[in-house]
Structure 1
Amino acid sequence: MIKNILCFGASQTWGWNPENATRYPFDKRWTGVLQNKLGANYHIIEEGLNGRTTVFDDPFQPGRNGSLILPVLLESHAPLDLVILFLGTNDLKPYIQNSTKDGAKKAALGCIRLIRLIWASQCGPKGNKPDILLLSPPWIIEPKGLMEMVFIDVVDESKELAKHYESVARNFNIHFMDLSQFIKPSPIDGIHMDVHNNKILGEKLALTIQEIYKI
């Protein structure tokens, strides 16, 4: 039986190339690497959108509130065996929360909302709950270019994401991975992954998923 895996995220999942603001080809995105590594027994479903947040509206980019679109996507792609949540970086933008204070904690609370939506949807096999893998985003290094305009004074706050996400994962008994342990953003914009780090992430996730399902 093929395992259906939904990858729900923002620009890192969409495949943002920090060199020229274009999209990486599928085989260079971490989702494509993941599909190639897992093979025909798995179906990787990409749902990445630039600027997406967990639960917050963006006054400059409509439709970025992840909690509003997630139920539709869960129903559309059901049945799902696993949902990978890769969000939170955009939640840290000061104008999103009107403050940088406790931004990581608020992002983690947003993840709780998404987890509850997933469980309530009954989008898993035979109407059951799907598995969830919560990814804590890599740290932001010094933002540059356009990123410098929107990610103001959030470097330290990005380093707080992992502890709050891990606490959420532990309390909800879901799978967790701290990407800051092995992923580094490109120094070009300080936010997004280069091709090499996309490859690392895809390969790491493949090993984790194979361990979960042991196919």
Structure 2
Amino acid sequence: MRQKKLSDYLLRFAVLLAVILLVLRLTCPSQTRIACVGDSITYGATIRDKSHDSYPAQLGTMLGRKYSVKNFGASGYTLQESCDRPYTSHKRYKKSLDFKPDVVLIMLGTNDTKPYNWISTEAFQDDYRQLILSYQELPSRPDVILMTPASVFPENFNPAKPYKIRAGVAGEAAKAVRELAKELGLPFIDIHEVTASHPEFFLQDGVHPNELGAKAIARTVYEALKDWGY
């Protein structure tokens, strides 16, 4: 008799638990997972409070609780595999895959502009296609959104010289991203154009945006996502 009562109790508990889980699923829909892939500009280098003021952090605040925005920026890393620090060799690349994103925002290319890294537009685009594919093949089937690298102002700021990042080549990389987005039919956000007339965003070293610049990038991404129905 006691065993039957225990069985009945366990059965009722299991049913009640299933109902609770169903209600929670219906009333608390899962968050949209957004992976921000990039270099030090995404990471928030030179920004004092990265967890609050980097562009991914500010984007997450703008989007609200229905979204989980994660920062997978890796300082000094490149898009091209032949460069000194390819992004795919960094642990944050693997973490971005494991995140099972619904949306992937890619903003790479600034470090590719260094004299010993840049090969050609074709080489840049070839490796970009492979990076895009690595995300598209995930079980979560994320939407991949391309972002042009930001403008840089090394000619105006002496501290930028050690980076060896070239403004002209950054323009070439941005053009390459635009062409690739058109070729593949992918949405893209032109951060290069948005930042081109705002050297005040890069006052510290001509390369890394300050909190104001990160906010402008986040706002641009936020408005694009909303326009596209996210």
TM-score (norm 1): 0.80
Map of 2:160 onto structure 1: 147
Larger radius of gyration: 2
Residues 142-166 of structure 1, C-alpha deviations (whole Å, 9 max, x = no match)? 25455312316x2211122222111
Please tell me the residue identity of whatever aligns with 2:94. V
More helix by share: 2
Between the aligned partners of 1:51 and 1:201, the Cα distance in structure 2 is 19
Please tell me the residue identity of whatever aligns with 2:174. A
Map of 2:64 onto structure 1: 39
Map of 1:82 onto structure 2: 103
In structure 2, the CA distance between the partners of 1:200 and 1:74, relative to structure 1 (3 Å rule), is closer
Percent of aligned positions with the same letter in both sequences? Answer: 22
Q: How many Å apart are 1:200 and its aligned residue?
A: 1.1
> Residue 34 of structure 1: SS of its match in structure 2?
helix
Q: Is the 8 A contact 2:38 2:106 kept in 1?
A: yes
> Residue 41 of structure 2: SS of its match in structure 1?
helix
Q: Is the 8 A contact 1:13 1:29 kept in 2?
A: yes
Map residues 159-174 of structure 1 onto 2, 5 A cutoff.
Answer: 159-174=171-186
Please tell me the residue identity of whatever aligns with 2:180. V
In structure 2, the CA distance between the partners of 1:57 and 1:160, relative to structure 1 (3 Å rule), is closer
Map of 1:212 onto structure 2: 228
2:144 aligned to 109, 132, 135, which one? Answer: 132
Quote the RMSD (CA, aligned, Å): 2.2
Please tell me the residue identity of whatever aligns with 1:44. V
Map of 1:10 onto structure 2: 39
> Residue 159 of structure 1: SS of its match in structure 2?
helix
Map of 2:133 onto structure 1: 116
Between the aligned partners of 2:76 and 2:48, the Cα distance in structure 1 is 14
Q: How many Å apart are 1:107 and its aligned residue?
A: 3.1
Please tell me the residue identity of whatever aligns with 2:226. Q
Structure 1: gaps of 5 or more residues: none
1:107 aligned to 124, 136, 144, which one? Answer: 124
Q: Is the 8 A contact 1:34 1:205 kept in 2?
A: yes
In structure 2, the CA distance between the partners of 1:26 and 1:71, relative to structure 1 (3 Å rule), is closer
Between the aligned partners of 2:83 and 2:193, the Cα distance in structure 1 is 29
Q: Is the 8 A contact 2:36 2:106 kept in 1?
A: yes
> Residue 45 of structure 2: SS of its match in structure 1?
coil
Structure 2: gaps of 5 or more residues: 1-29
Map residues 19-30 of structure 1 onto 2, 5 A cutoff.
Answer: 23-30=48-55
2:112 aligned to 91, 101, 126, which one? Answer: 91
Q: Is the 8 A contact 1:135 1:179 kept in 2?
A: yes
Is 1:72 the counterpart of 2:84 in the alignment? no
> Residue 124 of structure 2: SS of its match in structure 1?
helix
Q: How many Å apart are 1:174 and its aligned residue?
A: 1.3
> Residue 64 of structure 2: SS of its match in structure 1?
helix
